[in-house]
């Protein structure tokens, strides 16, 4: 009797096989990431300098981490429900003659075993020896990670209401972090307690998954909730009086884009900013200086730990959310255009313009929210900021606030740039292009200049050569960028993918923003008494602002729309 | 009767030598067809015959690998705005924005079509008994087909393309949709192309029919002509036969013993001559339905 073959015919075997069957292509990507990681490890071992060694190690670490996180997703047993377009348990399995407990527990145990063993192997064989990363309490970290992984599975499979799911997930993430952190840093006080708490978390994850699937099997969440029905009816009634037709097709498309993802970035940025405000409030309370404006150290800490991170939030989040920008329907399962958009009589350039306009509107709103949050953060310390810290004294409060406007504009432009960079790759609707572009951006565009600067820092000769040629290099890059963009625009116009007017908007916008960034850079260089670097900052500004991406986007969309 | 020639100014759709491969599989193979203004064309064929692929070419969602596609004399890939502004389309896949309310979807769609008839849209909304305050994702499959049809009809397109409009729908909704199509044809004389494998629908509505099989056009003509060119007959043999007789011109032969039913492509005289050659006589004959022709063509000549 062939026991191995019989095993694959059992429900457990079939479920295990599905992880492999569903993710064969994904495993190839992981293999590629691992190969890249090993390549960087190899670079590290072959006589790299101390600084370069740290960079290679960081690159290797990020590759391994990427592969590992991807493995977690593959083993999660998630599937996008074709009906609701939300992450869910594979619905077809609910109709198999298998108990709910087995449906819930098998994927959890299988996924847990695969990911945990990978994590342990990775840590022991790779990180500990090659990248010199030695996590303490490996078993404890693995157990906490398993618990969080199970919670992700339990919530993603069956928990209704996407926003509620996200909220519970964040809460569970914080709880797991606290459990891990307290056990690491308060080992004495927590001695004997951390394991029971973790077991409770593990058991509750299993229970939530089991109960969720049981309710799902009974069709408990098939119909919309009463709250959802009430909300839909209320918004319909409220909009009755003021409903108007859209002024144009572009306005309608902008509305669709805005409704899909316009509020996502402002909401998430606002949420994080609120968190910062709350923590800053607690910080003041704990420091005992609440209401005592006038402590310069407090003002400096406030700016370093809260205001600057708050300003960085839109930039970081916009870079993270950029892949969503290319999708027309966040919940659409494939990269293809939804039919209801593909058959509308609108040019590809028009569809792209609506996206760019929405990105600009959402960036502006996000930065407005961020500015408001910064104001809330600095108001309690306004006395010291405006008088004693010397930061704004030369300009006075009004001058300072006026001076903030260009900074805010710069923030808007930068956020917008992050959102739309890569839109061309995303609009092709081909996953492999998007992934290749993301990796290319990560390792070539970001890591390349970083390596260049790092080498220049340690190697004097190289630095001198680089500084001598830097202006030429930047001008050559800019010329290449403009040539590529013009070629793409001409192709787009010839192929009817974009109108000359849209080209004017895109190129004009780029020029205006570029001039603004260059002017701003010039002003800053002048203020810090380094006018000779102005040309580099200005050229860098023009280079960073997306133009080729925008020029390629209509062609990329045409390639997706007319396959 | 054949369709108008490619040079005809009346041709709303002109497809010539269209081929499309997906990997090694030929989805369309040298397809040519012409649809004249005001006609109702039924595109029929079994699943996977290439109906949806052909329709996607007409909408510009797929680019011709060989041959040419013209709709209103325009290339739908090079001029999507020019073509799509005059075409109403109902997809087999009810790919609708589930998060929108019915009224929002109507308002959104309206913005793209200057010819949107609000009065007609309201009339269809009432006729289809759709609640404008309801979210699309909460609608039943039949209701989703209706809102799809409503937004395809409300701007009175010159060409209506319906891809399996009644797929997966109950008889009541199918009737509603068919009646809407019939009304458009009867009252406004618009051009309609609809694909279906429910051939009773096609017989009821279409005046022309194109049958696809494995990506090739195997039948192309007026519905009545297509039916008239086939005969469903019963052949009687003097002695029982152990296996199906081979009859020249027959698309399908079924039965056993001494009586065999054949679906014959040709005239009455040709059938009698062919039957005589194999020692049989025709004991019964009638005009077959489109359904029988499709099954015979698709199923081959087995017994």
Domain segments of chain B as ranges: 11-226, 229-299
What is the residue-level pLDDT of chain A in tens, covering all 563 positions?
A: 566 677 777 877 887 788 888 888 888 888 888 888 888 877 766 655 666 677 777 777 788 888 888 888 888 888 877 666 677 888 888 888 888 888 889 889 888 888 888 888 777 766 666 655 555 677 888 888 899 999 999 988 877 676 778 778 888 888 888 888 777 776 666 667 778 888 899 999 999 999 988 888 887 766 667 777 788 788 888 777 666 789 899 999 999 999 988 999 999 899 888 888 888 777 777 665 544 555 666 666 777 778 888 888 999 888 888 888 888 876 555 678 888 999 999 999 899 999 999 999 999 999 999 999 988 887 776 665 555 555 555 566 666 677 788 888 989 999 999 899 888 888 998 888 888 887 777 677 667 777 777 788 888 888 888 888 888 988 999 999 999 999 999 999 988 888 888 899 889 989 998 898 888 888 888 777 777 788 888 888 888 888 988 999 999 999 999 88
Q: CA-to-CA distance for B109 and A387, rounded, in angstroms?
A: 57
Q: Higher pLDDT residue, B24 or A362?
A: A362
pLDDT at position A111, please?
Answer: 84
Does residue B182 have a pLDDT over 70? yes
Shortest CA distance from B147: residue in chain A: A340
Does residue B2 have a pLDDT over 50? no
| B107 to A496: CB separation less than 8 angstroms, yes or no | no
Q: CA-to-CA distance for B181 and B113, rounded, in angstroms?
A: 20
Beta bridge partners of B272: none
Q: Closest approach of chain A CAs to the CA of B265, in angstroms? A: 38
Beta-carbon contacts of residue B85 (< 8 Å; ≥ 6 apart)? A345, B112, B113
Is A347 part of the contact surface with chain B (CB cutoff 8 Å)?
A: yes
pTM of the model: 0.79
Beta-carbon contacts of residue A562 (< 8 Å; ≥ 6 apart)? B60, B61, B62, B63, B77, B80
Can you tell me which residue has the tokens 């202006």? A471
Does residue B302 have a pLDDT over 60? no
Strand order, beta sheet including B87-90? B87-90, B159-163, B191-196, B40-44, B208-213, B216-222
SS3 A335: coil
Is A563 part of the contact surface with chain B (CB cutoff 8 Å)?
A: yes
Shortest CA distance from B149: residue in chain A: A340
What integer is the mean pLDDT of B238-265?
Answer: 87
Is B157 part of the contact surface with chain A (CB cutoff 8 Å)?
A: no
Q: Which parts of A186-246 fold into alpha helices (H)? A: 187-190, 194-217, 226-239
Can you tell me which residue has the tokens 């808007």? A412
How many other C-beta atoms can be found within 10 angstroms of the C-beta atom of residue A398?
8
| CA triple B32-B37-B40, angle to 5 deg | 75
φ, ψ for residue A310, nearest 5 deg: -65, -40
Instruction: Quick: pLDDT tens for B137-164.
Output: 888 888 998 999 999 999 999 999 999 8
Can you tell me which residue has the tokens 């040629």? A469
ipTM: 0.85
pLDDT at position B43, please?
Answer: 92
Residue burial B13-49, b: 16+ Cβ < 10 Å; e: rest: bbbeebebeeeeebbbbebbbbbbbebbbbbbbbeeb
pLDDT at position A130, please?
Answer: 60
| B103 to A346: CB separation less than 8 angstroms, yes or no | no
Q: Closest approach of chain A CAs to the CA of B111, in angstroms? A: 5
What integer is the mean pLDDT of B28-48?
Answer: 90
Chain A residues with CB inside 8 Å of B107's CB? 243, 245-246, 252
As a CATH number, domain B11-226 is 3.40.50.300
Can you tell me which residue has the tokens 């009430």? A230
| B107 to A252: CB separation less than 8 angstroms, yes or no | yes
Closest CB from B79, B108, B135 relative to A256: B108
Is A234 part of the contact surface with chain B (CB cutoff 8 Å)?
A: no
Q: CA-to-CA distance for A395 and A381, rounded, in angstroms?
A: 18
Q: Closest approach of chain A CAs to the CA of B106, in angstroms? A: 10
pLDDT at position B161, please?
Answer: 93
Which range is least confidently modeled, B94-98, B146-150, B190-194?
B94-98
Q: Closest approach of chain A CAs to the CA of B96, in angstroms? A: 6
Q: CA-to-CA distance for A88 and A39, rounded, in angstroms?
A: 37
């Amino acid at each position: 009797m062939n026991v191995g073959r019989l095993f694959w015919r059992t429900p457990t075997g079939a479920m295990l096989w599905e992880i492999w069957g569903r993710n064969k292509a994904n495993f190839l990507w992981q293999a590629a990431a691992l190969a890249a990681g090993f390549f960087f490890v190899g670079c590290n071992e072959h006589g790299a300098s101390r600084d370069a060694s740290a960079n290679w190690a960081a690159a290797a670490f990020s590759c391994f981490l990427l592969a590992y996180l991807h493995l977690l997703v593959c083993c999660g047993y998630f599937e996008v429900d074709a009906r609701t377009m939300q992450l869910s348990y594979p619905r077809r399995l609910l109709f198999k003659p298998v108990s709910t407990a087995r449906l819930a527990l098998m994927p959890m145990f299988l996924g847990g075993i695969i990911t945990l063993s990978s994590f342990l192997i990775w840590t022991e064989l790779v990180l500990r020896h090659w990248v010199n990363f030695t996590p303490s309490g490996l078993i404890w970290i693995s157990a906490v990670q398993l618990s969080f992984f199970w919670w992700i599975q339990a919530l993603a499979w069956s928990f209704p209401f996407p926003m509620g799911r996200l909220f519970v997930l964040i809460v569970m993430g914080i709880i797991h972090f606290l459990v891990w952190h307290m056990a690491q840093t308060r080992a004495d006080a927590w001695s004997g307690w951390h394991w029971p708490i973790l077991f409770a978390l593990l058991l509750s994850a299993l229970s939530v998954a089991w109960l969720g699937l049981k309710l799902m099997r009974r069709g408990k969440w098939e119909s919309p909730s009463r709250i959802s029905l009430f909300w839909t009816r209320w918004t319909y009634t409220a909009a009755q009086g003021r409903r108007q037709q859209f002024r144009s097709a572009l306005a309608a498309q902008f509305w669709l884009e805005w409704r899909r993802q316009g509020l996502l970035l402002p909401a998430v940025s606002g949420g994080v900013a609120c968190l910062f405000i709350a923590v800053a409030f607690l910080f003041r309370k704990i420091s005992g200086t609440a209401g005592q404006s006038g402590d310069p150290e407090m003002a400096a800490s406030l700016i370093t730990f809260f205001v600057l991170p708050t300003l960085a939030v839109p930039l970081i989040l916009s870079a993270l959310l950029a892949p969503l920008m290319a999708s027309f329907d966040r919940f659409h399962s494939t990269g293809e255009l939804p039919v209801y958009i593909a058959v509308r009589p609108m040019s590809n350039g028009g569809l792209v313009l609506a996206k760019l306009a929405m990105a600009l509107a959402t960036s502006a709103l996000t930065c407005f929210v961020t500015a408001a949050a910064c104001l809330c953060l600095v108001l309690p310390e306004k006395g010291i900021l405006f008088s004693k810290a010397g930061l704004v004294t030369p300009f006075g409060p009004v001058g300072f606030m006026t001076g903030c406007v260009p900074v805010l504009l710069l923030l808007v432009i930068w956020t917008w740039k992050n959102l739309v960079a890569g839109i061309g790759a995303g609009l092709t609707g081909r996953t492999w292009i998007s992934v290749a572009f993301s990796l290319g951006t990560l390792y070539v565009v970001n890591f390349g200049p970083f390596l260049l600067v790092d080498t220049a820092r340690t190697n004097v000769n190289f630095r001198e050569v680089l500084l001598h040629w830097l202006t030429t290099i930047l001008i050559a890059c800019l010329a290449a960028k403009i040539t590529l963009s013009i070629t793409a625009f001409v192709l787009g116009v010839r192929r009817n993918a974009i109108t000359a007017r849209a080209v004017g908007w895109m190129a004009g916008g780029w020029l205006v923003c570029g001039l603004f960034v260059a002017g701003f850079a010039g002003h800053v260089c002048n203020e810090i008494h380094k006018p000779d670097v102005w040309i580099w900052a200005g050229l860098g500004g023009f280079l960073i602002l997306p133009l080729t991406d925008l020029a390629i986007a209509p062609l990329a969309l045409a390639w997706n729309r007319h396959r | 009767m054949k369709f108008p020639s490619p040079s005809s100014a009346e041709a709303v759709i002109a497809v010539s030598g269209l081929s499309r491969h997906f990997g090694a599989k030929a989805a369309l193979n040298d397809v040519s067809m012409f649809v004249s203004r005001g006609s109702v064309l039924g595109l029929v064929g079994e699943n996977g015959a290439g109906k949806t692929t052909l329709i996607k070419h007409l909408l510009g969602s797929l680019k011709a690998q060989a041959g040419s596609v013209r709709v209103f004399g325009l290339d739908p890939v090079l001029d999507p705005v020019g073509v799509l502004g005059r075409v109403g389309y109902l997809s087999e896949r009810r790919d609708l924005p589930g998060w929108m309310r019915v009224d929002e979807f109507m308002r959104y769609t309206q913005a793209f079509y200057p010819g949107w008839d609000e009065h007609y849209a309201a009339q269809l909304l009432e006729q289809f008994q759709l609640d404008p305050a309801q979210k699309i994702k909460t609608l039943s499959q039949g209701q989703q087909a209706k809102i799809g049809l409503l937004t395809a009809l409300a701007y009175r397109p010159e060409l209506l393309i319906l891809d399996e409009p009644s797929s997966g729908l109950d008889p009541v909704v199918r009737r509603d949709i068919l009646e809407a199509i019939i009304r458009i044809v009867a009252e406004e004389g618009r051009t309609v192309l609809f694909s279906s494998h429910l051939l009773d629908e096609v017989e009821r509505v279409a005046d022309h029919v194109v049958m696809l099989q494995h990506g090739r056009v195997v039948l192309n003509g007026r519905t009545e002509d297509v039916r008239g060119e086939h005969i469903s007959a019963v052949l009687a043999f003097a002695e029982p036969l152990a296996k199906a007789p081979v009859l020249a011109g027959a698309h399908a032969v079924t039965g056993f013993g001494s009586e065999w039913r054949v679906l014959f492509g040709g005239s009455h005289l040709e059938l009698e001559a062919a039957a005589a050659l194999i020692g049989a006589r025709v004991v019964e004959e009638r005009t077959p339905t489109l359904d029988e022709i499709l099954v015979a063509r698709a199923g081959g000549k087995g017994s």
